[in-house]
Amino acid sequence: MNIVRNHILISIDAGTIMSGARAVEDALIKELTKYGLDKEVSVLETGSLGITGMGVVLVVYPEGIYYANVTTKDVPELVEEHLLKGRPLKRLILTEAPKRTIITKEKTGLLKEQPRIVLKNCGFINPENIDEYIAAGGYEAIAKALQTMTPEDVVKEVKESGLMGRGGAGFPTGLKWEFAIKTPGEEKFVICNADEGEPGTFKDRLILEGDPHKLIEGMLIAGYAIKATMGFVYIRGEYNLSIERIEKAIADARSYGLLGKNILESNFSFDIFVKKGAGAYICGEETALIESLEGKRGHPRNKPPFPINAGLWGKPTLVNNVETLANVPEIIRNGAEWYRGYGTEKCSGTKVYTILGHVQTPGLIETEMGTTLKEIIFEYGGGIKDGKNFKGALIGGAAGAFISSEMLDVKMDFVNLREYAAALGSGAILVMNEDTDIVDMLKSVLHFFKHESCGHCVPCRLGTAKLVEIIDRIANSKGKKKDLDELMEITQAMKGASFCPLGQSVSLPVSSALRYFKDEFMAKVSA
């Protein structure tokens, strides 16, 4: 009988694949076989280990040692030193690794432990193996719902959990589901919005790559709760690995009787299909997404009616994003009271963030709602790299807010940030050091909005063009003081008159940049 003494989990996600993860995996297996260690050391694929921008990343258990920037040339030395001689290869060790176990930082050098709900399985199971998901408790929640709960019970549980939509708006999920179940209709739909187009945001991609069955289970529960018969995953077309994995997961779930007719021998029938987006930022807005799903150009619709009343093909439609739905199985399995044990009184649960920019350990983290920005950057992200000082951050993506060091102690949740005219948004946190040019950053944001405006309404079409003209002038030190006032006037007009959230949201990055970093703008304009 062979006893496996070590497990090597290698991160297989879009980023690591481009860095050569498959070749490193093959080299590891070959090298282990050469020494006769292939029966003692197993090499396993998993989703993202939460680390980005550091090449191929892997972790060796039971030691829990993370290695980054591993290449095929490093493999022979890694196997000989660590797996033959028991001496970790120090030059490749990632000292600021994401903490996943209850070990003190003083002893390991790891970052603060993450309370994981959404990402619980990411980096631990093979996302392409349905049996591993089931072994980790997967599909227990839908079984519980079908066997012991009515659809109304499920809606009540989600409502009592306090889960708020993780797509950016923070609308109470249970309330949305309650509207959906009360809306009459013989045919209803559930749509997962996986069209993650916000710059700097890749949390939904890594959830899909690391744990696709959790999304399927969340959609199943949502379908049962609102009495829907069909679901769609509308996914960003560039997310090739996410698409491959969700399609495989759907096929495997069907083969296990977890999708299709009479699921788990119940009266509930539900199936899921994948729709690839064509790269339009505007299709992140739910009605534009629905138009695209119907085969039309992705233009936003007038509201009301809302999708809950008349969505896909005019039928009642529930739209939630990936992270929102990924919370649902754990809520149903463990209960609303358990979920409320995380986060704050007004914002329960956890939040998944993508941290990038001038930070030591960029990547994906999950922490409780209400955690301060300072803690996220310095305890989860390892602080500012190269010994530089923190200057500011752009939180929530391009449609988010610029904040300065005076807001480091603000609690990151939907309620607290509203008090500071900021927004949690998509969960992206772009960290900027003391050398960052904020004017140039705002310039990039405004150019992005101009490029992504669909041109459907005049305020946004003309407004974004005028904003770009002004910010270019300021960035080239050719602007006037009155240009700053005009920036604000245009964005406020767009906020009130634009047809959809794209044009309406431009005011936040502009107003926040001028609020916290006005001196930098004043230095580039004349009277």
CATH number reported for the structural domain that contains residue 81 in this entry: 3.40.30.10
Query: For residue 396, what are its two tokens?
Result: 């929530």
Any domain includes 68: yes
Query: 154 and 230: one domain?
Result: yes
Residue 415 belongs to some domain of the structure:
yes
Regarding whether 226 and 185 lie in a shared domain, the answer is: yes
Any bridge partners for residue 526, and if so which? 480
Cβ atoms of 270 and 220 within 8 Å: the answer is yes
- Is residue 239 helix, strand or coil? coil
Residue 101 confidence (pLDDT): 35
Mark whether 310 and 242 lie in a shared domain. yes
Characterize the bridge pairing of strands 363-368 and 350-357. antiparallel
Q: Which residues contact 226 (CB under 8 A, 6 or more apart)?
A: 151, 155, 177, 180, 181, 188, 190, 316, 318
First-to-final CA distance of the chain: 82
Burial of 179 (0-12, 13-18, 19+ CB in 10 A): middle
Q: pLDDT at residue 1 above 80?
A: no
Does 134 fall in a domain? yes
* Whether 277 and 186 share a structural domain: yes
pLDDT band at 100 (very low <50, low <70, confident <90, very high): very low
Peptide bond before 316: cis, by omega within 30 degrees of 0? no
Is the pLDDT at 168 greater than 80? The verdict is: no
The arithmetic mean of pLDDT across residues 96-106, rounded, is: 44
51-55, 70-74, 516-520 — which is least confidently predicted? 51-55
Residue 21 domain-assigned?
A: yes
pTM to 2 decimal places: 0.91
User: What is the structure's pLDDT at 226?
Assistant: 97
Give me the pLDDT at residue 99, please: 56
Q: What is the pLDDT of residue 104?
A: 29
Q: If you ran DSSP here, which 8-state letter would residue 206 be given?
A: H
Q: Are 205 and 354 in contact (CB under 8 A)?
A: no
For the stretch 196-205, pLDDT in tens is: 888 888 899 9
The verdict on 159 and 146 lying in the same domain is yes
Specify whether 135 is located in the same domain as 70. Answer: no
On whether the CB atoms of residues 396 and 167 are closer than 8 A, the answer is: no
For the chain, give the mean pLDDT.
92
Number of domain units in the chain: 4
pLDDT at 111 over 80: no
d(CA 6, CA 14): 25
